[in-house]
Amino acid sequence: MTDNPSYKDRKVITIGVVSELTGLTERQIRYYEERKLIFPERSPKGNRKYSFMDVEQLIDIANKREEGVQTYEIRQEMLKKRRKEERKKRRELLRGEINARFGIQKD
């Protein structure tokens, strides 16, 4: 994450508000955290803080659960997606290094 995250990435929403926005119970939200599907930050007092991206992720998780997808399968899908994004970033970084090394310029 960057030094100045977008509003969607800032972890400022409490679990009660997330519950209202998603229709999930606080217990369901905590369960998805236990299953490592969502990663809230903690305030100095230990309260969970979520971002708008977390809210979107929770809605996606809830929809998949309604379709019968197990939390393990959701987690595997998330890991696969993350690995794919990391490979893409590495390729772009490598491409930039090669372009800089050999003086290749984009038009």
The domains located in the chain, with CATH, are 13-102 (1.10.1660.10)
DSSP 43: -
Q: What is the mean pLDDT of residues 5-14?
A: 89
With tokens 């994004």, the residue in question is: 85
pTM (predicted TM-score): 0.75
With tokens 């959701």, the residue in question is: 74
Give the pLDDT of residue 7. 83
Give the pLDDT of residue 1. 43
- 25-64 pLDDT per residue, tens: 999 999 999 999 999 999 999 999 999 999 999 999 999 9
Distance CA 102, CA 96 (A): 10
Distance CA 93, CA 101 (A): 12
Distance CA 41, CA 57 (A): 15
